[in-house]
Structure 1
Amino acid sequence: MTDIAALDRADPLAAKRAEFLIPEGVIYLDGNSLGPLTKGAQARIASAVADEWGEMLIRGWNDAGWFTAPGRVGDRIGALIGAPPGSVTAADNTSINVFKCLSAALAMRPDRKVVLSDSGNFPTDLYIAEGLIAGLGGGHRLKTVAPEEVADALDEDVAVMMLTEVDYRTGRRHDMAGLTRRAHEVGALAMWDLAHSAGAFEVDLTGAGADFAVGCGYKYLNGGPGAPAFLYVRPERQARVRPLISGWMGHEAPFAFDPDYRPLEGIGRMRVGTPPVISLKGLDAALDVFDGVEMAAIRAKSISLSELFIAEVERRCAGHGLRLVSPRDPAVRGSQVSFAHEQGYAAMQALIARGVIGDFRAPDVMRFGFAPLYLSHADVAAAAGVLAEVLDGRLWDRPEYLTRSDVT
């Protein structure tokens, strides 16, 4: 039997939990969808509103560093994903950043017409690609294959390989370095969505040779609902990139108000409009929880938590039709575990009502995210116990749990 208390006593990250505001009695296993509020972000946002916006008014652009915040926050995120200073900017949302990066990448491979992705990619990435292709009217096409078929589908027709490293539904993890290397062998560019990677485990964009990357600020980075996203451009590519959207914040001299567009040098050219300052302040403060923490330690605890959860769920919930849909091997799994169940939605609502918060993805997947900075082994073992109670007693079989909400 696993000594859960001993695991928590030996946890080098245990003290980090105190930096988060998690409601009493809640076991929060949905940080892969929305990270919780940190105490630092709460204080920083309040200060940004009262002391900066309230007192400085428009002077805040200079006096409080609002104007330069996208680069500063971008560099802090870059340190978590293996990107050098000056290669990441915080901007817009993930969907807009997909559009910007993909349009810039396609322009760099004008003789090729295929965007290669996989059937496990997050739908918005595919929607953006479809819309961009239709708007370009240049004969491009989006080709999607099964995740395990990506390497074999890379050929000289592919302009851009566009993948999400961790499957949002199952947690399956792609081999970023291997697939990027294969894409480069056939002359394609590699673009990665890190929405379920950044802040969850080690990412090495430089070592993998990725050309472009995007990600959001509100999952494992805990930046808050609708927090600014981020994008990365490999330093050697930056002088050539020009996204299809050109806005004044990407101009070489935005306050010269020139009628013609001249892109800023470096990653700044990937910015478009005025940055969301209050949200940026919250994201910046949320990143403080990573100070002094090695991503390897986060990854080690993530594996320990998820392995314990799988073992406890399979031990306590046998015979109830739960099916593990995440990879069993943690080396090819992100920081989440997903189980399928025919009453997955209702069972998740029953769990949430009992203080264990995960989420659901159609058609039948119950998702549980493991954010090591605020979760303990005792938490995940207790969550497995509550799941067993819900299934043993058919506690999910109530009208209020069977009725679907807008957000699942």
Structure 2
Amino acid sequence: MNLSGHKPEQSVPGERHLVVIGQGYVGLPLAMRASEVGFRVTGLDRSGPVVDRLNEGRSHVDDITDQQVSQALAAGFSATTDSEVISRADIVVICVPTPLDPRGGPDLRAVRSAVKDIATYVRSGTLIVLESTVYPGTTEDILVPAIQDLGFNIGTDIFIAFSPERIDPGNPKYGLKNTPKVVGAVTPTCQSHAVEFYSQIVDTVVQARGTKEAELAKLLENTFRHVNIALVNEMVRICHELDIDLWDSIDCAESKPFGFMAFRPGPGVGGHCIPVDPKYLSHRVKSELGYPFRLLEMAEVINDAAPSYVAERVWSLLNEQRIPVNGAKVLLLGVTYKPDVSDCRESPADPLYFKLSSWGANISYHDPFVDSWQPESHGLLTKEPLARVEDLSSAVESADIVVFLQAHKEYDLEQLSAQSTVILDTRGKLNVNSKAVQRL
């Protein structure tokens, strides 16, 4: 592995045309950053409304402002739904979604579609980089053969690499520019081209041995988090039974200056990465090697069950008040998957909603970042979106129980504790000495 923070010999960005396929939370920041440093950038996306918004100077991604889009447009950025633009590209970067299919396996349809478009229009001399999260071997199994079938020689005519996205929505400290970028390529010449490109975009490029190593690096990062979150999500149940404040124990353990990294329990894992990425790895292990990745699969079981445990705690706390869950007024606070963003993808609030609803609970919600919420989980979808309660104080006071799911900075924690009859704190943020506060 090579770590390079210096700038090698480079061509002038403005002489090169970059096409970024996919203008979501990964592709749009890349397009904006590349435009900022002087590349001619086109954002390619299948969504007409997304393309129209971008060409009007309006962002649909939390971390990108309208002003940034307008500045990029002034610098020559444009968005399109027409794949023919690839024929004029010097560099093509694939940033499309890679969710799970209905059976819980990798869904690479968007990647295959992007590769098909590239194969239709690519010209000799183009650098192609896959950034979408995939299982190890995807670049060599899908992208490389599609280009070779055209008669191109990889490393001479076309240059192919993989560079995992590391976007952390809402992170005020680390963005695209100052987060080290891992790059692994098919040949040394491909590697040189990819490193040269990314060195103009980010401060530090980390060179992987090859595409498989770069692909695994992304899955390893999130599998590490997934397993450790599962550890504390399992421990929180045990500590509740043993009457131990796990959050206090974690704070104490964190004081050790070496050999420990703090993870804290919660209502479940959310977002695209942690609930999805490890499943790509476990699927690859089972399909290629024929045996399960047991530690990872157990972590999945534990974290997938976390919302149900929250529901069980709600039932128990209502029971202590002699209130049946059927008909009880339950207020959910914070339905996004992480604090201070509007992203609800894979939020644990969704399965929690359906579990409580199946018991007959009367559920309302509040989230300062979500005007309208339509829970979706395991094929279930509410008939109509739920409207956010607007009078938070009144909703808190009238609820039989409040479930604190996400620690948005806008929430006044002391006021929530004072106004609630009972509030279940799934994040360990509220004053445990308050009579109303019950920790998970």
Pairwise same-fold verdict (TM > 0.5): no
What TM-score results when the alignment is normalised by the length of structure 1? 0.34
Normalised TM-score (structure 2):
0.32
Task: Indicate the structure whose relative CO is greater, using CA pairs within 8 Å and at least 6 residues apart.
Answer: 1
